[in-house]
């Protein structure tokens, strides 16, 4: 057990480090948080490790609490490992002694403390406000759902969008930028960089692939292997490496048994669900009106950020179309339930809202004579069947309109679409 002096030292140091943290690029998701800031609810920021949750907390503290009216605790600090929930009262007393009475807690990676929700519930009912972060969707929702049903609101913090990437590069763009020759050239250059590097803040800042490798390894080891007591880490990594290498390709749980040393389909499903819980990947189903068929049909998997593909994947990416498709998925995943469609032809994405197909999207790096008919027919088949409000083809650089069977198909570059 930590002494009072040690605890004081840790808390004082954590606050000092937090306040020295750069504000960074203003995050788009900050607007969503600000709409909820005056509500009594516990505000939970979840998302991939190192995607910017702590920086978002820093921006909230600066703007709304003037860098003083708050308590801060970081449970990712190894000195607080094995911290017991029964010690929360002592921790609170230390905070009051050091910084005076406050009514707002900012807590990083709270899921590292077992039974944290009991403390949060007790202080919440006493009028305290909480902003908490965590990197595990299942743990946070399960624990908060038990003790704080209806009392917490979740916000997912994703890696940088293309607009945020441009702000990091200090590139000032407007709605007309895509029509100005010089601006357009810069936008295309920056998009090529973003397509390859992704949007993980520290990696963009330092350009060191080891940063991404460490995030991946910490995700697999700390968030999955240790937490779920998985002893065979080598097999676990083999499964995840195979999935990331074959991202955006069809797979079945049964077929995975042929490629990794796991003989149980249920174990494979469980391991993949753990990977999803960390926000590192997302699995989507083939669209079908039958839920049973959705469950048994082949799946597709996408990686949370393109940067990781170069670090984890063993695929030789001579075709950037795979990266383009992965990027598009990560942009639309928050817009509704995402499926792929496959019948005579295939359409990359269907966005479903309120049980209706709202959008159909085809992604193709370069629309040419060899693939044009296949790509158009895949989208057209989905449009005829589901009659979505929006449908278009996204490419790397082409801008066009195609009129076919009384349907006007818009073809546009992904970089322009991302700025709309």
Cα distance from N-terminal residue to C-terminal residue, the chain: 54
Residue 302, token pair as written in the block: 């996408």
**pLDDT higher than threshold 80 for residue 277:** yes
Q: Is the pLDDT of residue 88 over 90?
A: yes
- 198-247 residue pLDDT tens: 999 999 999 999 999 999 999 999 999 998 999 999 999 999 999 999 99
- The pLDDT, as a whole number, for residue 258 is 87
Tokens at residue 145, please?
């759902």
Mean pLDDT of 407-414: 97
**Is a pLDDT exceeding 80 seen at residue 357?**
yes
Backbone CA torsion sign across 228, 215, 340, 320: negative
Q: CA–CA separation, 21 vs 57, rounded Å? A: 10
409, 389 Cβ separation under 8 angstroms: no
Residue 136's pLDDT is 75
Q: Is the pLDDT of residue 338 over 70?
A: yes
pLDDT digit string, tens, across residues 389-398? 999 999 999 9
Sign of the torsion formed by the C-alpha atoms of 222, 94, 155 and 306: negative
Which of these, 65, 62, 69, lies nearest to 101 by C-alpha position?
69
* pLDDT value of position 404: 94
Q: How confident is the model at residue 319 (pLDDT cuts 50, 70, 90)?
A: confident
| pLDDT of the residue at 173 | 78
Domains of the chain, first to last = 4-156 (3.40.50.300), 320-420 (3.40.91.50)
């Amino acid at each position: 057990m930590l002494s009072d002096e040690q605890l004081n030292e840790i808390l004082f140091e954590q606050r000092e480090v937090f306040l020295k943290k750069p504000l960074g690029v203003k995050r788009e998701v900050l607007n969503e948080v600000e709409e909820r800031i005056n509500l009594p609810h516990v505000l939970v920021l979840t998302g991939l490790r190192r995607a910017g949750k702590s920086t978002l907390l820093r921006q909230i503290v600066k703007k709304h609490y003037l860098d003083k009216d708050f308590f801060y605790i970081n449970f990712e600090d190894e000195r607080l490992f094995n911290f017991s929930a029964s010690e929360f009262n002592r921790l609170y007393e230390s905070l009051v002694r050091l910084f005076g009475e406050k009514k707002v807690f900012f807590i990083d990676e709270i899921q590292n403390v077992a039974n944290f929700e009991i403390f949060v519930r007790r202080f919440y009912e006493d009028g305290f406000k909480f902003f908490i972060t965590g990197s595990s969707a299942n743990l946070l929702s399960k624990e908060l759902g038990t003790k704080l049903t209806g009392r917490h609101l979740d916000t997912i913090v994703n890696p940088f969008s293309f607009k945020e990437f441009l702000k990091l590069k200090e590139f000032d763009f407007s709605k007309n930028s895509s029509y100005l020759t010089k601006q357009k050239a810069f936008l295309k250059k920056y998009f090529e960089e973003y397509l390859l590097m992704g949007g993980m803040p520290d990696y963009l800042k330092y350009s060191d692939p080891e940063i991404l490798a460490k995030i991946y390894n910490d995700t697999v080891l700390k968030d999955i292997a240790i937490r779920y007591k998985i002893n065979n880490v080598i097999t676990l990594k083999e499964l995840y490496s195979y999935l990331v290498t074959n991202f955006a390709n069809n797979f079945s749980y049964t077929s995975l048994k042929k490629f990794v040393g796991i003989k149980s389909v249920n174990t494979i499903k469980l391991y993949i669900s753990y990977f999803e819980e960390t926000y590192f990947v997302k699995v989507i189903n083939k669209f079908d009106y039958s839920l049973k068929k959705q469950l048994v049909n082949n799946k597709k998997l996408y990686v949370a950020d393109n940067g990781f593909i170069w670090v984890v994947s063993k695929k030789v990416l001579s075709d950037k179309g795979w990266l383009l498709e992965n990027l598009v998925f990560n942009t639309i995943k928050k817009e509704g339930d995402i499926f792929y469609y496959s019948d005579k032809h295939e359409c990359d994405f269907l966005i479903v809202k309120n049980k209706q197909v709202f959008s159909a999207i085809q992604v193709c790096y370069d629309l040419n004579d060899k693939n044009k008919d296949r790509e158009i027919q895949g989208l057209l088949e989905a449009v005829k069947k589901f009659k979505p409000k929006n449908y278009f083809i996204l490419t790397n650089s082409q801008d066009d309109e195609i009129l076919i069977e009384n349907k006007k198909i818009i073809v546009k570059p992904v970089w322009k679409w991302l700025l709309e």
